Amino acid sequence: MKSWLLSALISVFASVVAPTGAAASANVDGTADHPPCELPPAGRSEFVIDRPLFVSESPILRFRSGDDPTWADPAYDDSDWEVRRHVDGLPARSGIFWVRFTYTQPRYVRDGLSVAVVASYELYIDGRLVGRSGRVGADREAEIAGPVDNLFQIPDDLATPGERVVALRMSAWRTGFPTDVFRLNMASSDFRSLVERRMRQATSSVLAVGGAGVICVVFALWWFVVERQRVLWMCSALGLAAAVVQLLQAWRWLWVYPYDWHYPRLVAIAVTVSLLGVLLVAALLELFALNRRWGALVGVIGAVAAVWIRSAGWYHQISYWALVSALITAALIALRAWSSKRRGAVIVLVGLAGGVFGVIQGPWTFLERNFYLTFGAPMGGIAVAAALRLRDERRAARQARLTAARLEIELLKKQIQPHFVLNALTTIMEVIEQSPSEAVQLIDALAREFRMLARVSSERLIPLEQEVELCLAHLEVMSRRRAARCSLLVEGETARLLVPPALLLTLVENGLTHAPAGGEERVFRLRVEKEVGRTRLIFHSPGTSENKMDPAGGGTGLRYVKARLEESFAGRWSVESNEVEDGWRTIVEIRGQRPERGQ
Amino acid sequence: MRVLIVEDEPLIAQRLERFCRAELGGDLEQLRVVASLDAASGFLGEHPIDLLLLDLNLEGRDGMQLLETSVAGSFHTIIVSANTEHALRAFEYGVLDFVPKPFMQERLASALRRATRALVRAEHAARFLAVRKSGRVELVPVEDVIFVQGAGNYSELVRRDGRRELHDKTLERLEAVLPGDFERTHKSFVVRLSEIVSLHAYEGGRHEAVLRDGTTLPVGRSRYKGLKERLL
C-alpha cells in the first residue's frame, strides 16, 4: 500500500480514536472539558501540551513548589526540578509553584499563545513577563482568581525563530474541584487565528442556544395555547435543558469568568445533561404510552445516579455516561414502541441512532459541535413523532365530534323520521273522522313528545327522570295509536342518574316494534340498581318468544344505545340483552361514578 | 274479490278496511285484517286471495325479501306505506301500486281500480319478476323475457335463452305489471313487440307472429289489426 494512503488512513483512524483516548486520561482532573479543537490547525502546531497522541511533541514540564523570581530566567538551570508529564497534573490549594518548559519558535508567524488552566499565573517567555491571569498568591486571601481562558500576544522580538523558555508562576487556591490536581492546556498559533477559533467555539453554542430555545418556546406555546398534553411540555423542557447546557457552554467563551467559577459551571452542565437524559426517556415513555413506564424511568434515574457515584468529580465523564445511558434506554424504549407498532417509533429510532453516533464519534465534542447530532437528532425524531400522534388524536377527536353529531341526528331521525310522522298523521286522519275529541288528545300527546325530544336531543346526557318522562310521553302516543294500554313502571332510585338521551326510549321502541300486535295491556319495567362504583339499569319488555327482538349486538336500536354509551362512558359500560320467560330483558351497566367530560 | 290487509296500527287498518268496503262494495267477497307478516303468511297458506294491501317497512334486507315473496304470489300487491323513498324500488319488483301514507279515500280507490279493472297497467313497470322455485324466490329480469304464455292459473315466462319459468300470477295480472312494450297478442300470449319480426295472415283467418328467434306464435283474430298498426 502506498505510504501516503497508509498515513492518511492512520490519521483518519487517529482522529476518530484520539478523543476516546483523551476521555480516558483527561478526566483525571476537572479541566478536562477542554477539547482538542483548541489546538492550532494541523501543520501549524509544534508545541502542544495535553494531547496524548502527540506526546513526543509535547514539551517536558519541569515543576517546583516555592517562589523565586530568578526561576523566570531562561538561563536558570532547572535540571534538578521534578519532571511532570501533562497527565500528571499540577497541585491545587498548596501555595505558589513554578512550571518551566522549552519550545522551538518556528520560522513563520506564531505570535499567539492560548492558555487554559484553573489557576492564577504569570507567564514569562525568556524571562520577560508576557502576561498574567489574576494575581498569584501565597495564600488564599492574597490570590485573585484570573480567567480560565486567556489569549496572549507574544511580543515581536520573542516571536522570532529559535528556542524559547516558558516559565509560569502559579497558584490555585480557589479551585473548587474535589481532586487536588488540575491540568495545563496550552496551544500556540498566530494570534488572529486563535481569536477566530475562540469565536467559532462560541458560535456553535450560541446557535444551539437559539435552536433549543425555539424548540422550548414553540412546544410551550403549543402546550399552553393548543393542546394540554404532557408530551408537549416535556418537549419544551427538553428544549429548555438543551438551551441551558449550551448557554453554560457559551458562557465560557462569551463572558470570561474567574477560574473559581469553572467548577460550578461544570457541575451545572453535568446536572443539566443528566436531567436532559432523564427527561428524554420520560418524554419517550409519555409519547409512546407504554406499560411499566415507572420501571423504565426508575431504571434510567438509577443509571444516571450510578454514573454520578462512579465518576464523582469527573464532570465531563458524568455528562458523557449520563447521556449514553439515557440514549440507550431511550433506544430500548423506542424499539419496544416499534414492536408494539407505535406511531413514529421508527423516526424516533433513527433520531436516537443519530444521537448515539454523535456521542460515540465525539466524546469531547458531543456537547459542542456534535451537539447538533447528540441532541438535535433525537429531539427532531421526538418532535415528528409527537406531531404525528397529535395529528392522529385530532383526527380521532374530529371523528368523535362527528359521531356525536351523527348520534344527535339519529335520535331526531328516530322520532321525527317521515315514517313515524306519516304513520301518526294517518292515524290522526282516521281518528278525526271517527272521533274528533280523541284526535285532539292524540295530537296533544304527540306534541308533548316532540317538545321533550327537542329539549334533550342536543344533550349528551340527561337526568334519568327526564328520560322516563320522554318514554311516558311516547307510550301515551303509542297507546292511542295502537289502541292498547302501554305503560312503564320504574323501581329504584332514579335521582342524580345521568343517561344518554333516548337510551330508554330506544329500548321501549324496540319492545313495541317486536311485541305482538293486539289489544292486551303492555307493561314495560325498569329497575335501577345502584352499587358502589356501578349502576345497573334492568329493563324488561313484555312479549312472547314468537316475537323476538334483535339479539344483543344487532339492530339499529341497540347500535344507537351502544354508540351513545361509548360516547359518554368510554369503556366503562356494558349492555346485555337476552330473552327471558315473559319477554326480553336488557341490562345496561355503567361503571365508575362520573361520566366522561364533554368534548 | 278477496282482500288481505297487513297493518299493525289498528286505526290505520280500520281506515283501509273502511275505504275498501266503500270502493269495492258488492265485489268484495272477503276482507281480512292481520297485524303482522307472520300472521299474513299463515293466512295465505290456507286462503287464496286476489289482493294484498301491505304496510311494509322496506328498510334493510328483510323488507326486500318479504316484498319478493309477496310479489311472487298469484295475487296483486299494493304497498301502503310511509316509506315513500322506496316506492320506485317496490314498483321494480312488480307491485301494482304504492299508496303513500297518509292517504285519502280517493287515492286508495284509484289503487283498487287498478286491481279490479283489466288492462290498467301499473304506474311503473316491473323490472324483475319474482318466481317461486322450490321454496325460494328467484328474480327474473323482465328484459330477459320475450313472451309470456298463459297456462290456466299460472303463466310461463319465456326467456331469451329458451328457458321457461313458471309464475304464480295469471296472464292478466302479469300483464298489468309488465312494461308497455309487452302486448296481448292472443288470449294465451303476451309478447314483447320489439321481438316480433313479421306478421303473417293465412287463409281461414289464421294469424301468426314470427319472433326474432324464429318462434312462431298464434295471433288472435280480433287483435291482429291493432297489432299490425302498432308495429307499422
ipTM: 0.81
Measured CA to CA, the distance from residue A369 to residue A362 in angstroms comes to 9
Percent above pLDDT 70 for chain B = 96
- CB of A546 within 8 Å of any CB in chain B? yes
Distance from the B79 Cα atom to the nearest Cα atom in chain A, whole angstroms: 14
Q: Do residues B189 and B149 touch, judged by C-beta distance below 8 A?
A: yes
**pLDDT score of A135:** 92
Contact B38 A429 (CB under 8 A): no
Q: Do residues A121 and A228 touch, judged by C-beta distance below 8 A?
A: no
Compute the count of residue pairs across chains A and B with CB atoms less than 8 Å apart: 56
Cα–chain-centroid distance for residue A326? 12
Which residue bears the cell 489546538? Answer: A39
A274: its cell numbers: 443528566
Distance from the B164 Cα atom to the nearest Cα atom in chain A, whole angstroms: 39
- CB of A419 within 8 Å of any CB in chain B? yes
Closest partner residue to B101 among A426, A433, A434, by Cβ? A426
B73: its cell numbers: 304470489
Low-confidence ranges of chain A (pLDDT < 50): 1-56, 545-554, 596-599
SS3 content of chain B, % helix, strand, coil (to 5): 35, 35, 30
The answer to whether the Cα torsion of B149, B155, B161, B162 is positive or negative is negative
Helices A191-221 and A377-416 pack at an angle, to 10 degrees, of 10
**pLDDT score of A489:** 92
B163 φ, ψ to 5°?
Answer: -65, 150
Closest partner residue to B15 among A430, A481, A546, by Cβ? A430
Contact A483 B10 (CB under 8 A): yes
Closest partner residue to B102 among A422, A481, A482, by Cβ? A422
Contact B83 A419 (CB under 8 A): yes
Contact B36 A425 (CB under 8 A): no
Contact B15 A481 (CB under 8 A): no
A158: its cell numbers: 520573542
Distance from the B84 Cα atom to the nearest Cα atom in chain A, whole angstroms: 9
Contact A516 B35 (CB under 8 A): yes
Measured CA to CA, the distance from residue A460 to residue A331 in angstroms comes to 43
Q: Which residue from A minimizes the CA distance to B15?
A: A430
Cα angle A395, A399, A404; round to 5: 150
Contact A427 B103 (CB under 8 A): no
Q: Which residue from B minimizes the CA distance to A420?
A: B82
- CB of A544 within 8 Å of any CB in chain B? no
Distance from the B80 Cα atom to the nearest Cα atom in chain A, whole angstroms: 10
A245: its cell numbers: 447546557
Distance from the B36 Cα atom to the nearest Cα atom in chain A, whole angstroms: 7
- Tell me which H or E stretch contains B13: helix B10-24
The answer to whether the Cα torsion of A412, A415, A419, A424 is positive or negative is negative
Which residues of chain A lie closer than 8 angstroms to B9, CB-CB? 423, 426-427, 481-482
The mean per-residue pLDDT over the stretch B122-135 comes to 83
Q: Give the amino acid at B26.
A: G
**pLDDT score of A219:** 94
Residues 157-186 of A with CB under 8 A from B: none
Q: Do residues B206 and B219 touch, judged by C-beta distance below 8 A?
A: no
Cβ partners under 8 Å of residue A145, min gap 6: A120, A134, A174, A258, A259, A260
B54: its cell numbers: 301491505
Cβ partners under 8 Å of residue B13, min gap 6: B5, B7, B33, B35
**pLDDT score of A443:** 92
Which residues of chain A lie closer than 8 angstroms to B36, CB-CB? 516-517
A307: its cell numbers: 454514573
Measured CA to CA, the distance from residue A387 to residue A417 in angstroms comes to 42
Contact A419 B103 (CB under 8 A): no
Contact B9 A481 (CB under 8 A): yes
**pLDDT score of A417:** 67
Interface of B with A (CB under 8 A): 8-12, 14-15, 35-36, 38, 57, 82-84, 100-104
Distance from the B224 Cα atom to the nearest Cα atom in chain A, whole angstroms: 48
Cα angle A151, A154, A158; round to 5: 160
Give per-residue pLDDT as tens, A98-131: 989 887 777 666 788 888 888 899 999 999 999 9
Measured CA to CA, the distance from residue A173 to residue A195 in angstroms comes to 29
Contact B12 A516 (CB under 8 A): no
Give per-residue pLDDT as tens, B169-212: 888 888 888 888 898 889 899 999 989 998 888 888 889 999 99
Which residues of chain B lie closer than 8 angstroms to A419, CB-CB? 57, 82-83
- CB of A426 within 8 Å of any CB in chain B? yes
Give per-residue pLDDT as tens, A491-514: 988 778 889 888 898 888 888 876
- CB of A516 within 8 Å of any CB in chain B? yes
Distance from the B82 Cα atom to the nearest Cα atom in chain A, whole angstroms: 5
A175: its cell numbers: 479551585
Q: Which residue from B minimizes the CA distance to A483?
A: B10
Instruction: Indicate the average pLDDT of chain B.
Output: 86
- Tell me which H or E stretch contains A83: strand A82-84
- Picking from A271, A273, A280, the residue whose alpha carbon sits closest to that of residue A238 is A280
Distance from the A515 Cα atom to the nearest Cα atom in chain B, whole angstroms: 10
Closest partner residue to A427 among B9, B35, B83, by Cβ? B9
Cβ partners under 8 Å of residue B109, min gap 6: B19, B22, B23
- CB of A62 within 8 Å of any CB in chain B? no
Which residues of chain A lie closer than 8 angstroms to B101, CB-CB? 422-423, 425-426
Q: Which residue from B minimizes the CA distance to A478?
A: B9
Q: Do residues A241 and A378 touch, judged by C-beta distance below 8 A?
A: no
| One-character DSSP codes across A377-402 | HHHHHHHHHHHHHHHHHHHHHHHHHH
Measured CA to CA, the distance from residue A98 to residue A103 in angstroms comes to 17
* Cis amide linkage into residue A36, ω under 30° from 0: no
Most confident of A403-412, B65-74, B216-225: B216-225
Which residue bears the cell 292524540? Answer: A442
The mean per-residue pLDDT over the stretch B51-65 comes to 72
**Alpha-helical regions (H) of A417-463:** 418-434, 436-456
**pLDDT score of A48:** 42
Q: Give the amino acid at A163.
A: E
Measured CA to CA, the distance from residue A185 to residue A50 in angstroms comes to 6
Distance from the B75 Cα atom to the nearest Cα atom in chain A, whole angstroms: 25
- CB of A418 within 8 Å of any CB in chain B? yes
Count of Cβ atoms closer than 10 Å to residue B219 Cβ: 22
Measured CA to CA, the distance from residue A137 to residue A121 in angstroms comes to 9
pLDDT at B86 exceeding the cut of 90: no
Contact A426 B14 (CB under 8 A): no
pLDDT at B125 exceeding the cut of 50: yes
Q: Give the amino acid at A60.
A: I
